[in-house]
Amino acid sequence: MAASDPIAPPRRALAYLEEELEALQRQDLLRTALHSGDALVLCANDYLGYAREPFDASDTLVGAHASGAGASRLVSGEYEAHAVLERTLADWVGLEDALVFSSGYAANVGTLAALATSDDVIVSDALNHASIIDGCRLSRARVTVTPHLDLGAVERALAASQSARRRFVVTEAYFSMDGDVPALAELRRLCDSFDAALVVDEAHSLGIVGPRGAGACKEAGIVPDVLVGTLGKSVGLQGAFVAGAKPLKAWLWNRARSFVFSTGVSPWLSAMTERRVRRVIADDAGRARLDAIVGRVRAELAAAGAPLVPSQGPIVPWFVGDQRRAIDLRDRLLDQGLFVQAIRPPTVPVGTSRLRITLHALLSDADVAFTVERLLAVLPLGGR
């Protein structure tokens, strides 16, 4: 086709999408790109501030590693940089071995679908991430969804599933939309009592919780059967990993479809990530700074009567209920130089739309004062 030729009109087979998009718009559920400009961003997951660092073209890793793996790691995409990174990750979280995936979504979907079958039962918290939900579905296991953080419901589900071939309990270590945490030690005890495997997604806790930032499981003094960690949040790069015993890695290497049928993670990125992980491990000062910022913001908002629901850590959810209201408040804050994204269904349950404030370690004292001032000036005070 010549460059000057007119573009052929699209076939009408997908014309229904226009109506569906209009329906989303009417419900205030349509997502579009929104740029923060010069605003202070308080809705990223970059808790230690590493993702904000620009790429350094003079870095010694440039030219030292292949830029791409070129194939699945099972074919010809295996590089030493992958092995080095996986050894560092396993040592960090105190488990035998680890396997790197292209994303946290791929890690959760691939792992759960590879571990469980239709003869098994998965007990899943009602507020688990979409990647966990989709992994449960793809496994074809019988899934029992328990009310959020309800240990009694988990125990009842395990007791009712003893005829199943295998049982799994899966939870986030730090829930990304509500900023709350499960009782990991009690979940470990329940799993041991019912011979169930404990799967813990440490996406939002790794790097900021526990000794050396090794996560909530380390902080709780428990060993999960499967630990999922991401590398795009506190580590500030991209990708994810699954850690556990050596047979777990070998099984996922063979059966996790999101790993088997994906091109391996870039060797250069793997080397960069390994170095970054070592920085995170050593960054006790960054974690202390983050804790201080979190304490100050939460204390000042609470003192002013802000309707903070029970939560902890750098994720501060401010519930507003209606999705239109959440969008309006987001836009008002953005106009005043603060970018806090509106979180709406289906990401959160209907009627619980919110602004999800996420704090990071690079906030200055002036940033903190500005943040509290703007939030209190714009957001509604009162109960949830």
Q: At what angle do helices 267-282 and 80-93 cross, to 10 degrees?
A: 20
- The verdict on 130 and 149 lying in the same domain is yes
Q: What is the domain extent for residue 132? A: 80-282
What is the domain count for the chain?
2
**Is residue 258 a part of any domain in this protein?**
yes
DSSP string, 85-147: HHHHHHHHHT-SEEEEES-HHHHHHHHHHHH--TT-EEEEETT--HHHHHHHHHHT-EEEEEP
Active site (annotated) includes residue 360: no
Q: Which of 125, 180, 201, 283 is catalytic?
A: 201
Q: Which of 86, 180, 204, 258 is catalytic?
A: 204
* Angle, alpha carbons 37-39-40 (nearest 5°): 135
Active site (annotated) includes residue 108: no
pLDDT at 251 over 50: yes
* Angle, alpha carbons 345-348-349 (nearest 5°): 80
- The verdict on 161 and 272 lying in the same domain is yes
- State the pLDDT confidence band at 10, using cuts at 50, 70 and 90: low
- The verdict on 242 and 288 lying in the same domain is no
- The verdict on 274 and 322 lying in the same domain is no
Q: 79-88, pLDDT tens digit by residue?
A: 999 999 999 9
**Is residue 162 a part of any domain in this protein?**
yes
Active site (annotated) includes residue 176: yes
- The verdict on 209 and 255 lying in the same domain is yes
Asked if residue 198 lies in contact with residue 191, where contact means CB atoms within 8 angstroms, the answer is: yes
Active site (annotated) includes residue 201: yes
Three-state secondary-structure class, residue 360: coil
Q: Which of 82, 218, 233, 360 is catalytic?
A: 233
| Long-range contacts, stretch 126-133, CB < 8 angstroms, 24+ apart | 127/172, 127/175, 127/177, 127/178, 128/170, 128/171, 128/172, 128/201, 129/172, 129/176, 129/201, 129/203, 130/105, 130/347, 131/104, 131/105, 131/107, 132/108, 132/170, 132/172, 132/201
Region 299-327 average pLDDT: 90
- State the pLDDT confidence band at 9, using cuts at 50, 70 and 90: low
Chain centroid, CA 130 distance in Å: 10
pLDDT at res. 3 = 61
Q: 339-354, pLDDT tens digit by residue?
A: 999 999 999 999 999 9
Question: Whole-number mean pLDDT of the chain?
Answer: 94
- The verdict on 295 and 256 lying in the same domain is no
Q: Which amino acid is at 106?
A: A
- The verdict on 133 and 182 lying in the same domain is yes
- The verdict on 272 and 135 lying in the same domain is yes
pTM of the model: 0.93
Beta carbons within 8 Å of 243's beta carbon, 6+ residues apart: 89, 90, 93, 95, 96, 97, 98, 99, 226, 227, 228, 229
Q: Which of 45, 291, 322, 367 is catalytic?
A: 45
**Is residue 168 a part of any domain in this protein?**
yes
Region 8-18 average pLDDT: 81
Active site (annotated) includes residue 172: yes
- The verdict on 111 and 241 lying in the same domain is yes
**Is residue 61 a part of any domain in this protein?**
no
Q: 26-62, pLDDT tens digit by residue?
A: 999 988 888 888 899 999 999 999 999 988 777 888 7
pLDDT at 287 over 90: yes
**Is residue 205 a part of any domain in this protein?**
yes
What distance in Å separates the CA atoms of residue 73 and residue 324, rounded to the nearest whole number? 46
The CATH number of the domain holding residue 99 is 3.40.640.10
Region 127-132 average pLDDT: 97
Q: Which of 86, 155, 172, 225 is catalytic?
A: 172
Active site (annotated) includes residue 45: yes
The CATH number of the domain holding residue 357 is 3.90.1150.10
- The verdict on 149 and 233 lying in the same domain is yes
- The verdict on 127 and 200 lying in the same domain is yes
pLDDT at 338 over 50: yes
Least confident of 2-16, 62-76, 275-289, 315-329: 2-16
- State the pLDDT confidence band at 2, using cuts at 50, 70 and 90: low
pLDDT at res. 4 = 65
**Is residue 43 a part of any domain in this protein?**
yes
**Is residue 21 a part of any domain in this protein?**
no
- The verdict on 162 and 296 lying in the same domain is no
Active site (annotated) includes residue 218: no
